[in-house]
Amino acid sequence: MAQITFTFPDAVAPRVVTAICFNGNYQDELESGVPNPETKAQFARRMVMEWVKDQVRTYEGNTAFSEGMEQAIANQKAAYVAVDTEIEVT
């Protein structure tokens, strides 16, 4: 399985985790008042993984949409040509 590794100085790690947790709206306590079982480090890792997955989903969705649009345009052009040659007004 392929791996992606992020490497930064140990002194920077708390800043990275804190930033990801802040931007991802990490909560120390759940709505019920129970402490969050997911640590900040686990949350940060999950957010990075979700970002990677979102990038792939967005790319593949946009590519499929573009390819679908190209095919739809080609089909529409073919339909216009077919109509013009098959239907006559007398």
Residue-wise pLDDT tens digits, 16-62: 999 999 999 999 999 999 999 999 999 999 999 999 999 999 999 88
CB distance 48 to 16 below 8 Å: no
CB distance 48 to 20 below 8 Å: yes
Q: What is the pLDDT of residues 57-73, one digit of tens each?
A: 999 988 988 888 888 88
Helix (H, G, I), strand (E, B) or coil at 29: strand
**Can you tell me the distance from the alpha carbon of 25 to that of 43, in angstroms, rounded to the nearest whole number?**
10
Q: Higher confidence at residue 3 or residue 84?
A: 3
Compute the C-alpha angle 28/29/34, nearest 5°.
140
Delimit the domains of the chain by residue range.
Answer: 13-86
pLDDT at res. 37: 97
pLDDT at res. 9: 95
